[in-house]
Amino acid sequence: MGTVQLQLEKKENVGRNVKLSKIHKQINTMSSEIEKYVIKQNQLQNQIDELFAEKKVLQNKIDLLNECLSFDKIKRKISELENKQKILTSLESIINNLKNEIKPLEYLKHILHRQLMVSTLTSNDLDTQEQKNSENSQLTANSGCAIETLDSLSDISSEDSVMVLSEYEVVSDEDVISDMEKSVSNKVMYDEALQMASSMHSSLFESLTKNTESIATLSNVSDLMQDVSCVQPNLNDIVGTMSTSNKSEELLKMYDVVKDKNLLNCGKNDEVELKHNAEYVKSIAPGANQVTLSDKGSSDRHNSLNNKEHNMLKSSNDSWVKVNENGLLDIALKNEPTVDIIQEIIEDNTLSQGNIEIHTHRQNNKLANRSKDEIEILPFKLNTEDISREYNKQKEKIEIDAHKQNCQLTNVLKDSNEFTPLILNTGLISNEYNEQKNILVETHVENNKQLDQKFESKEDSSVNKNFENICYCMEYNYGNEIHNPICLTNNSKDEINSLMLNIEVSSVMKKCNDLSVNGDKPSPFNNDEKSLQPCHIDKCSIMDLNIELSNGIRDHGFENFMTLQQQFLFHCINGRDIIFHSYPCIGKSTICFISVLQKINTSLNECQAIILVPTLELALCGLKMIKSFGKFLNVSTCIGGSNVPRKVSPVPHVVISTPHGLCDMINCNSLCKDFIKILVVDDADEMFNYNGFFNNIRRVLLFLNNNPQLIVLSTSKLEEIFDQFSEVMQNPEYIIVPDEKPSLEDILQYCVNVPEEWKFDALYELYETLNLMRTVVYCKTWSKSLEVAVNLRLKSCTVSAVHQEMDTRDRKFIIQKFRSDLCKLLITTELLKGEDFSAVLWIVNYDLPTNSKDYVRRIVGCFNRRVRVINFITKNDSIAKKNIETSFNMCMLNFPQNVTDLCIPDLGSVNDSSLN
């Protein structure tokens, strides 16, 4: 049993071993198969990877293809092609112009050729050519003024042209007949030459007339002038030569020259109508008179008034009384106006009948509705040391000497009510100057606390500072807005008195809205808050703008007039001389152009307004604006200069020019002064930088007999402006608002916080993602601009850089390239005022300017308000950023995460007309 059991166990073991070995075998085969599978799997994985890589490549290709095929890209390409087409057309027009220029040059060449022939013949064979000369003279007589013209140009000779002309062999008709067989291809006959000369003569005139007319009218030439600037001067030289030559009279016969005397005594009705004679004033006197005093330049006025009897009521050695253009009485006194003098004047005038209002600098209490006997005239006396209340018994006015040590405005104000007008005598530097240097601040007090603050700030800025000049401030505080601060400086005592009194006139204008002495509209600038809001041009009730003009303004894209613009327009239309001094870009020039257009009568074919600007760029820019505003007015304009012919057709209603250009026009006798009723000096402060500026202005004023309304616009150098202009102005209105800032609310301004060293990458990123074009990038320095430009070019961006000191032609070329979209980015430190960049879409302040004036000039000066601004802000810029934001009462937006939202969707919507 035991052995059987053992055997059985053995068998079982053997069987188990066999099974085990089988299983082992199976495992081995399986593991070898697994290995095979793993290898296969790896192979498959590799294949998958390869396929993925291929897929990626294909995807990239697809993206690329998509990109190429994308609609926008195609559109852009098309617009680029269109722009190139435009450039081609402009090049064609340049070529045509060049061809036109070549014609007169050819003509001159032939003239020289002919003269050479004559002189050669004379010297070589005087005898034999006598007969020919007589023939020649006969022909000459037939060709009339052509020969005169040739003679007039006889002084033009050059060795080069002699060389050219020597190619020709001169022969007479007889020679040709006798030697017909000889080749005459290179010979010129007299009659042929003359024929050619006369045909060239007419083509010369055709071309000159066409060109000079186009220069004069400049309707579409502003761009052309830029394009063909290299061509135009030659032509101008020719015109210049011809008009200065003795014989040019012959040429000018072509023009219908109107003699000045023909124009005298014509068309002055407007002015006459505006003036009121004594009789008229007398008739409206009761209850409607205001007397204003002026002791400035009384002797001058004496003289001028002697010629203007019609509006002078009374004149004596010491005083005169006249009705000014606002229907108010101007009383000029040689001496200080004492009680006696004023009373005497009033008594001597029939105007004292009825009720009367008197405004002197001190006595502002309205005396309306009092009879003559009740009038108490207060002595003209300045600088009382004490706080004077004797005139303020009725709490109508409080006077304070601010320089008095213990003067506390708040204490004084305790006694005043909320609306007490306040006179503030301040600003004495030392007793020595007490007599001469007084400051008067008058303001309506809406809120005493607010005024107190203002007073303190005035103390800081003007009273306590040791300034040499007088600061004379007058503010009208309407609501929260400072309406009409006025500062006058550096004046003698006489001038101070006069200026005070003049301001009194304006205050009277403001206060007495209900009085309409001369039929003018009353001043709208009262406490009515509505008048202070920007107002829509159509709803601008204070002035009736020409319907055509308001259509033009709307068409230009302007909807509203700012408060100051309304104020300016009002005074300008009322014929006042104005000094408008403000922060840059407040809209002075714009409203001035509009006022000029409102004042001119386009049915009168005469020059009626002159606008002087410092540079030709500004003249071109102004011309464009005037053309645009006056689109429906049929207004003609021209840029002044020596190239304006004596008789331009149509006669420009408005001449816009540099002072030098206008003097050239005067020299050439091409300006008729008789109908000029307004002279504007725009950017007068900048003109001080130019030599001989004021001599030129004096010349212009002398030429115009100091007659026209004078408007002076400036943003700085107020003292100089007063020094130079206050003498020649009559009863000027001062709109002096150095602190009022333009609104930037409607301009999108983003900020990007970026460290200095990453600025370039940020710019490049923007260039790529926003697909930047028509973009101006401002850097702090020229070297930085260059560096940025070079680095961008290395990355295949199309950029250019310009700076102010660049050669004008190079600069123009680069700017033209930028305007034509041939380069996408323009990198600069500053653009010239007047250069037109209205098609620009983006401004990048690569370096943020440190002051708000530069900031506003950068973003408003040359661009339209659809432009978007990106400011790069580094740590160091945070203060400047804050200053800018508080100055303009706005907040820069953070740059959005998703920049594609900012992409300009459709370039086609951008006004292409402003491109070129």
Ligand X SMILES: Nc1ncnc2c1ncn2[C@@H]1O[C@H](COP(=O)(O)OP(=O)(O)OP(=O)(O)O)[C@@H](O)[C@H]1O
Contact between 226 and 832 under an 8 Å Cβ cutoff? The reply is: no
Contact between 369 and 337 under an 8 Å Cβ cutoff? The reply is: no
Distance, CA of 896 to CA of 877 (rounded, Å): 20
Query: Minimal distance in Å, beta carbon 643 to ligand X?
Result: 26
Distance, CA of 711 to CA of 575 (rounded, Å): 10
Query: Minimal distance in Å, beta carbon 837 to ligand X?
Result: 10
Query: Minimal distance in Å, beta carbon 525 to ligand X?
Result: 17
Of 101-109, 193-201, 484-492, 583-591, the segment contacting ligand X by CB under 6 A is 583-591
| Residue-by-residue DSSP string for 399-420 | EEETTSTT--HHHHHHTS-TT-
Residues whose CB is less than 8 angstroms from the CB of residue 76 and which lie 6 or more positions away in sequence, other chains included:
907
User: What end-to-end distance do the CA atoms of the chain give, in Å?
Assistant: 123
Contact between 844 and 775 under an 8 Å Cβ cutoff? The reply is: yes
Residue 486: strand pairing partners: 474
Query: Minimal distance in Å, beta carbon 585 to ligand X?
Result: 4
Distance, CA of 73 to CA of 907 (rounded, Å): 11
Q: Pick from 207, 355, 589, 730 the residue near ligand X by CB under 6 A.
A: 589
Of 321-329, 491-499, 553-561, 667-675, the segment contacting ligand X by CB under 6 A is 553-561
- Judged by beta carbon, residue 747 or residue 823, the one nearer ligand X is 747
Query: Minimal distance in Å, beta carbon 860 to ligand X?
Result: 5
- Judged by beta carbon, residue 97 or residue 565, the one nearer ligand X is 565
Q: Which two tokens stand for residue 721?
A: 């402006």
Q: Is 590 in the site for ligand X (CB under 6 A)?
A: yes
Candidates 719, 729, 714, 720; CA nearest to 679 is 729
Query: Minimal distance in Å, beta carbon 746 to ligand X?
Result: 9
Number of residues that bind ligand X (CB under 6 A): 15
Of 246-254, 319-327, 458-466, 554-562, the segment contacting ligand X by CB under 6 A is 554-562
Query: Minimal distance in Å, beta carbon 848 to ligand X?
Result: 20
Residues whose CB is less than 8 angstroms from the CB of residue 97 and which lie 6 or more positions away in sequence, other chains included:
224, 228, 231
Query: Minimal distance in Å, beta carbon 461 to ligand X?
Result: 22
Query: Minimal distance in Å, beta carbon 742 to ligand X?
Result: 7
Output Rg (C-alpha) for the chain, integer angstroms. Answer: 41
Q: Pick from 90, 209, 434, 560 the residue near ligand X by CB under 6 A.
A: 560
Site for ligand X in 642-701 (CB under 6 A): 683
Distance, CA of 636 to CA of 71 (rounded, Å): 44
Q: Is 895 in the site for ligand X (CB under 6 A)?
A: no
Give the torsion sign (CA, 884, 890, 894, 900).
Answer: negative
Query: Minimal distance in Å, beta carbon 588 to ligand X?
Result: 4
- Judged by beta carbon, residue 788 or residue 862, the one nearer ligand X is 862
Q: Pick from 558, 767, 846, 888 the residue near ligand X by CB under 6 A.
A: 558
Query: Minimal distance in Å, beta carbon 733 to ligand X?
Result: 17
Query: Minimal distance in Å, beta carbon 719 to ligand X?
Result: 18
Q: Pick from 276, 302, 359, 588 the residue near ligand X by CB under 6 A.
A: 588
Site for ligand X in 758-797 (CB under 6 A): none
Q: Is 585 in the site for ligand X (CB under 6 A)?
A: yes
Kindly report whether the peptide bond that precedes residue 650 is cis, defined as omega within 30 degrees of 0: yes
Q: Pick from 455, 476, 561, 734 the residue near ligand X by CB under 6 A.
A: 561
- Judged by beta carbon, residue 218 or residue 860, the one nearer ligand X is 860
- Judged by beta carbon, residue 427 or residue 659, the one nearer ligand X is 659
- Judged by beta carbon, residue 522 or residue 861, the one nearer ligand X is 861
Between the alpha carbon of residue 339 and those of residues 343, 399, 507, 906, the distances in Å are 6, 20, 22, 74
Q: Pick from 600, 860, 869, 870 the residue near ligand X by CB under 6 A.
A: 860
Burial of 707 (0-12, 13-18, 19+ CB in 10 A): middle
Residue 678: strand pairing partners: 609, 709
Distance, CA of 765 to CA of 758 (rounded, Å): 11
- Judged by beta carbon, residue 515 or residue 681, the one nearer ligand X is 681
Strands 421-426 and 439-444: antiparallel
Distance, CA of 483 to CA of 522 (rounded, Å): 17
According to DSSP H, which parts of 349-492 are helical? 409-414, 448-458
- Judged by beta carbon, residue 562 or residue 839, the one nearer ligand X is 562
Residue 861 gets which letter from DSSP?
A: S
- Judged by beta carbon, residue 16 or residue 536, the one nearer ligand X is 536
Q: Pick from 327, 552, 587, 641 the residue near ligand X by CB under 6 A.
A: 587
Between the alpha carbon of residue 823 and those of residues 223, 225, 517, 811, 820, the distances in Å are 19, 21, 60, 14, 8
Distance, CA of 703 to CA of 673 (rounded, Å): 7
- Judged by beta carbon, residue 357 or residue 683, the one nearer ligand X is 683
Of 215-223, 261-269, 584-592, 899-907, the segment contacting ligand X by CB under 6 A is 584-592
Residues whose CB is less than 8 angstroms from the CB of residue 509 and which lie 6 or more positions away in sequence, other chains included:
326, 523
Query: Minimal distance in Å, beta carbon 535 to ligand X?
Result: 10
- Judged by beta carbon, residue 354 or residue 742, the one nearer ligand X is 742
Distance, CA of 230 to CA of 212 (rounded, Å): 16
Of 20-28, 349-357, 364-372, 561-569, the segment contacting ligand X by CB under 6 A is 561-569
Of 87-95, 149-157, 557-565, 782-790, the segment contacting ligand X by CB under 6 A is 557-565
- E strands along 779-860, which residues? 799-802, 825-828, 842-845
- Judged by beta carbon, residue 222 or residue 590, the one nearer ligand X is 590
- Judged by beta carbon, residue 149 or residue 852, the one nearer ligand X is 852
Q: Determine the residue type at 359.
A: H
Distance, CA of 550 to CA of 569 (rounded, Å): 13
- Judged by beta carbon, residue 421 or residue 587, the one nearer ligand X is 587
Query: Minimal distance in Å, beta carbon 685 to ligand X?
Result: 9
Stretch 710-749: interaction string toward ligand X, x if CB under 6 A? -----x----------------------------------
Sheet architecture: strand order including 398-401: 398-401, 421-426, 439-444
The helix (run of H) or strand (run of E) holding residue 444 is: strand 439-444
- Judged by beta carbon, residue 560 or residue 706, the one nearer ligand X is 560
Query: Minimal distance in Å, beta carbon 281 to ligand X?
Result: 37
- Judged by beta carbon, residue 320 or residue 629, the one nearer ligand X is 629
Residue 315: strand pairing partners: 320
Q: Residue number with the shortest CB distance to ligand X?
A: 587
Q: Which two tokens stand for residue 493?
A: 């005592």
- Judged by beta carbon, residue 621 or residue 873, the one nearer ligand X is 621
Of 242-250, 278-286, 351-359, 556-564, the segment contacting ligand X by CB under 6 A is 556-564
Of 67-75, 226-234, 414-422, 578-586, the segment contacting ligand X by CB under 6 A is 578-586
Half-sphere exposure of 799 (CA within 13 A, CB side): 26
Query: Minimal distance in Å, beta carbon 866 to ligand X?
Result: 11
Candidates 704, 602, 612, 724; CA nearest to 660 is 612
Distance, CA of 367 to CA of 482 (rounded, Å): 27
- Judged by beta carbon, residue 117 or residue 860, the one nearer ligand X is 860
Query: Minimal distance in Å, beta carbon 712 to ligand X?
Result: 12
Q: Is 586 in the site for ligand X (CB under 6 A)?
A: yes
Query: Minimal distance in Å, beta carbon 426 to ligand X?
Result: 29
Which residues bind to ligand X, rule: CB under 6 A?
A: 558, 560-562, 565, 584-590, 683, 715, 860
